């Protein structure tokens, strides 16, 4: 089946690292994605990882993929108040994206 | 390069009516996908069009339909509106489709309220 799960909320202090976790079910997904949604806006692709990789780093973002456990995580280093948003992971079985429930990240000073 | 545009941005309808939403993809993009976002169900895939053909479809009733024109612009239609259709409808465009490593760009969405 297709099901992507995330924790609903995460609260961190400015300057700390944030880790958002995601579990997915479809092992055929070639790519796994992280999207960011700010209030009143559409989704913005943050990063993606190819399924044969276990790590990808892009500036302050680090994606870790554990294919055996079907676990994906997004680490944001030096979290800023501008990082406050909802973060969605997504798997891609076929020509569509299946999104997680979204994790609301709140950054406080 | 202009981004994905969706019109209208906000819409209020009553139960039983029908509605048409429009999406203009980024120039050169041939794939348009539609998603419904609600607080209860999250983001759910509606359908994807590529070169005027529906290539993939989610689990929505037949009241939800769409089409794509030769210029890649897409419309989605919802007939016989129900209260539960109130949602943010997001459109996304990409060159080849969501399964590839080319980025899907999302529009700002159309907020539909059904009274």
Which positions in chain B touch A98 (Cβ < 8 Å)? 45
Cis peptide upstream of residue A68 (ω within 30 degrees of 0): no
Q: For chain A, what percent of residues have pLDDT higher than 70?
A: 98
A33-42 average pLDDT score: 89
Q: What is the pLDDT of residue A40?
A: 79
Farthest-apart Cα atoms in chain B, separation: 40
Q: Which of B43, B44, B48 sits opposite A95 (nearest CB)?
A: B48
Which positions in chain A touch B92 (Cβ < 8 Å)? 42-43
**Cβ-based neighbours of B39, under 8 Å, separated by 6 or more:** none
Q: Which two tokens stand for residue B113?
A: 């309220």
B103-111 average pLDDT score: 90
The alpha carbon torsion through B74, A98, B96, A65 (nearest 10 deg) reads: 160
Instruction: pLDDT band for B101, please (50, 70, 90 cuts).
Output: low
Q: Which tens digits make up the pLDDT trace of A39-73?
A: 878 899 899 999 899 999 999 999 999 999 999 99
Q: Which tens digits make up the pLDDT trace of B37-74?
A: 998 888 999 999 999 999 989 999 999 999 999 999 99
Q: Which two tokens stand for residue A33?
A: 């994605």
Q: What is the pLDDT of residue A28?
A: 82
CB contact under 8 A, A43 and B90: yes
Tell me if chain B has a CB within 8 Å of the CB of A41: yes
Which residues from B are below 8 Å from A when comparing CB atoms? 4, 33, 35, 42-45, 48, 50, 55-56, 58, 90, 92, 97-101, 103-109
Q: Which two tokens stand for residue A88?
A: 């969605």
């Amino acid at each position: 089946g297709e099901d992507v799960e995330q924790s609903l909320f995460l609260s961190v202090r400015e300057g700390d690292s944030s880790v958002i976790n995601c579990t997915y079910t479809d092992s055929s997904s070639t790519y796994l994605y992280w999207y960011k949604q700010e209030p009143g806006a559409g989704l913005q692709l943050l990063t993606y990882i190819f399924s044969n990789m276990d790590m990808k780093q892009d500036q302050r973002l680090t994606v870790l993929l554990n294919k055996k456990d079907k676990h994906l995580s997004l680490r944001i280093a030096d979290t800023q108040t501008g990082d406050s948003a909802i973060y969605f992971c997504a798997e891609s079985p076929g020509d569509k994206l299946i999104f997680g429930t979204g994790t609301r990240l709140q950054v406080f000073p | 390069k202009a981004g994905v545009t969706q019109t209208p941005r906000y819409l209020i309808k009553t139960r039983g009516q029908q509605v048409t939403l429009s999406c203009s993809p980024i120039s050169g993009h041939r794939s348009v996908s539609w998603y419904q976002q609600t607080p209860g169900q999250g983001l759910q895939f509606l359908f994807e069009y590529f070169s005027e053909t529906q290539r993939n479809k989610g689990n929505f009733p037949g009241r939800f339909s769409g089409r794509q024109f030769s210029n890649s612009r897409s419309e989605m239609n919802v007939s016989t509106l129900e209260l539960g259709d109130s949602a943010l409808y997001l459109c996304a465009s990409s060159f080849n489709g969501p399964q590839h490593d080319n980025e899907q760009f999302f529009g700002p969405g159309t907020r539909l309220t059904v009274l």
